[in-house]
Amino acid sequence: MAIHELRIYNTLTRNIEIFKTNEPGKVSMYTCGPTVYHFAHIGNLRSYIMEDVLEKTLRYIGYDVKRVMNITDVGHLSSDADTGEDKMLKGAKREHKSVMEIAKFYTDAFFSDAAKLNIKTPDVVEPATNCIPEFIHMIEVLLEKGYAYIAGENVYFDTSKLKDYYVFSTQTEKDMLVGVRDDVSEDENKKNKSDFVLWFTKSKFDDQALKWDSPWGVGYPGWHIECSCISMKHLGEYMDIHCGGVDNIFPHHTNEIAQSESYLGHKWCNYWFHVHHLIDNGGKMSKSKGDFLTVSLLESKGYNPLAYRMFCLSSHYRKPLEFSYDNLDNITKAYDKLVKRVSELKDDGAVDNNVFDTYRLKFEDALCDDINTSMAITVLYDALKADTNDATKKALVESFDTVLSLGLLEGAKALAESGNEGVDADLEAFVLAKIEERKAAKKEKDFAKADAIRAELLEKGIIIEDTREGVKWKKA
Ligand code: AMP
Ligand code: ZN
């Protein structure tokens, strides 16, 4: 079967383009992984959820995808302008642990959160500290080719050697970016303001916990080199698509392109997919602000992580998404209703292949329109209302959920096992309202009220239980 044509926005060309791969039927895909000095916040996870949908869409329409992700466990300084402390060292100091202990703990925490959100682990995951010889090799080649220079015993990339360093920006933005680092303390070794560090030795060395021998002295790599090397190590010299959050566009992805294409001598990656930020009333959610929302925090308030996934899918990846508990409460209600609807589907005969194919095509159309996930969810609702038997609807839910990954059939099964399927609608509405009220009480830390609601429900013969998947209830 022919692969459905995917139309996707490419940050590099600022256009929606028809996706064409280097090798027919195959996609090489790279994702910037987490900096493992702290928990991922739900903003970071928005990026990983939308990238997961992209990967699953590519597989759904028939591509053979190889996806690679790095883990940043060295070299990411607190400022993107190569100043400040290494974030990993900051995390280690904060928790009185070694950098490697911090890296292990937060890498595990990242994958545990990702699993709760049904985010598939990429085919290859590689920590930066695994690839020091590859970084050194690339830097040596860049020096040989004249794209890099040594100053103050650090190695820098010379951005003046490129015809167009600011590849992602329009002319006006370029004019602004040239002076972008005017307000930060500048490294005087740099020949040009926009130059960036490939290998640190002396100037930032004092406190560094992890260091390696290199032709330029003992030191450690800059942040950007890891993604160029790790992607090439596993995906070769030509890459189809590279992903990250919009804050990665500059300087991280700009610098990745500069060093990769200078090293290779040809174009490196064709499509750049960027997910816009999750914001809250304080602006962009960020780890460095300290106070941020994690999946565990949502769970402790009684939310199902998959309702958060649905919240992300309800909005387009190229728009900022505002988080609020009210929004999440509304989506949670919609999610619970959807699971209930799916739990009511009966096994009533054979799947109608014509109907199945019609809706599958509509679903692919939605996703292939620049990953329009909210439209894809609308197609799911339409399929549930279609004039066909339950077996066909169930098959469609199962099929769509290989991309949406909302755990719909699993949720429906759990609901059926809880014995609440046939419960009277009024009683159900009452219980759900009480559960919401209890969630709100817990959020306000009014635990006495939360306990009173639990007791009130028990008196009416309803038992509630806080589980990893959210609040469950059943008749006593
Ligand atoms: P980090 O762990 O800081 O290296 O970031 C991991 C990923 O999360 C990167 O792709 C970032 O671009 C992305 N990211 C950071 N903050 C947000 C946010 N508020 N919303 C969405 N994505 C984000
Ligand atoms: Zn990266």
Buried b (16+ CB within 10 A) or exposed e, 254-276: bbbbbbbbbbeeeebbbbbbbbb
Mean pLDDT of 342-364: 97
Give the per-residue pLDDT at 98: 86
Q: If you measure from the C-alpha of residue 390 to the centroid of ligand 2, how many angstroms do you get, rounded to a whole number?
A: 45
pLDDT(114) > 50: yes
In angstroms, what is the span from residue 186 Cα to ligand 2's centroid? 23
Residue 79 pLDDT greater than 90, yes or no: no
Pocket perturbation via mutation, ligand 1, pick of 29, 44, 168 by most ligand atoms within 8 A of CB: 44
pLDDT at site 139: 98
Domains of the chain: 7-275 (3.40.50.620), 303-422 (1.20.120), 423-476 (no CATH)
Lowest mean pLDDT among 105-109, 307-311, 442-446: 442-446
Average pLDDT (82-88) is: 75
* 93 in Cβ contact with 37 (< 8 Å): no
Cα of 72 from ligand 2 centre, angstroms: 8
Nearest atom of ligand 1 to the alpha carbon of 278: 20
- Mean pLDDT across the stretch 99-119? 95
Query: Which of 47, 70, 111 has most ligand 1 atoms within 8 Å of its beta carbon, as the pocket-test mutant?
Result: 47
Q: Which atom of ligand 1 is nearest to the CA of 35?
A: 2
Q: Is the pTM of this model over 0.95?
A: no
pLDDT per position as a tens digit, 280-329: 877 777 776 666 899 999 998 889 999 999 999 999 999 999 999 999 99
Cα 224 to averaged position of ligand 2 atoms, centre (Å):
6
Indicate the pLDDT class of residue 65, thresholds 50, 70 and 90.
very high
Token match 């005017």: residue?
Answer: 182
**Numbers of helices and strands, H then E, in the chain:** 16, 16
Cα(445)–Cα(380) distance, integer angstroms: 37
Least confident of 230-239, 278-287, 344-353: 278-287
Question: Residue 473 carries which DSSP code?
Answer: E
More confident residue, 235 or 97: 235
Kindly tell me if the per-residue pLDDT of 181 is higher than 60: no
Query: Counting atoms of ligand 1 from 1, which one is nearest the CA of 76?
Result: 4
In angstroms, rounded to a whole number, what is the distance separating the alpha carbons of residues 395 and 416?
18
Ligand 1 pocket (Cβ < 6 Å) reads 32, 34-35, 43-44, 46-47, 72, 244-245, 247-248, 275, 277-278, 284-287
Mean pLDDT of the chain: 91
Q: Which atom of ligand 1 is nearest to the CA of 277?
A: 20
Output the pLDDT for position 424.
Answer: 63
Query: pLDDT grade, residue 203 (50/70/90)?
Result: low
Name the residue with the closest Cα to ligand 1, atom 11.
245
Q: Give pLDDT, residue 420.
A: 66
Question: Lowest-confidence range among 3-7, 18-22, 90-94, 121-125?
Answer: 90-94
Confidence of residue 111 (pLDDT cuts 50, 70, 90): very high
Q: Which of the pair, 205 or 440, is modelled with greater confidence?
A: 440
- Ligand 1 centroid, distance to 267 Cα (angstroms): 26
**Of all atoms in ligand 1, which is nearest to the CA of residue 32?**
10
358, 386 Cβ separation under 8 angstroms: no
Q: How far is CA 111 from CA 121, 186, 247, in A?
A: 8, 36, 22
Mean per-residue pLDDT, 359-384: 98
The alpha carbon of 44 and the centre of ligand 1 are apart by a number of angstroms equal to 4
CA nearest ligand 1 atom 5, residue = 34
Over residues 218-229, mean pLDDT: 94
CA of 227 to the centre of ligand 2 (A): 5
Share of the chain above pLDDT 90, in %: 68
pLDDT at residue 183, rounded to an integer: 46
- Of ligand 1's listed atoms, the one at least distance from the Cα of 31 is 10
Can you give the pLDDT at residue 474?
Answer: 80
Res 38 pLDDT > 80: yes
Cα separation, 312 vs 371, in Å, equals 12
Judged by its nearest atom, the ligand closest to the C-alpha of residue 229 is 2
Question: pLDDT category, 91, cuts 50, 70, 90?
Answer: confident
* Cα 47 to averaged position of ligand 1 atoms, centre (Å): 7
User: Among 73-82, 273-282, 367-376, 417-426, whose mean pLDDT is lowest?
Assistant: 417-426
Angstrom distance (rounded) from CA 208 to CA 316: 40
Kindly report which listed range (55-64, 185-194, 218-227) carries the lowest average pLDDT score. Answer: 185-194
Query: Which of 37-41, 62-66, 79-83, 113-117 shows the lowest mean pLDDT across its residues?
Result: 79-83
Q: State the distance from the centre of ligand 1 to the C-alpha of 321, rounded, in angstroms.
A: 13
Q: Ligand 1: which atom is nearest the Cα of residue 279?
A: 19
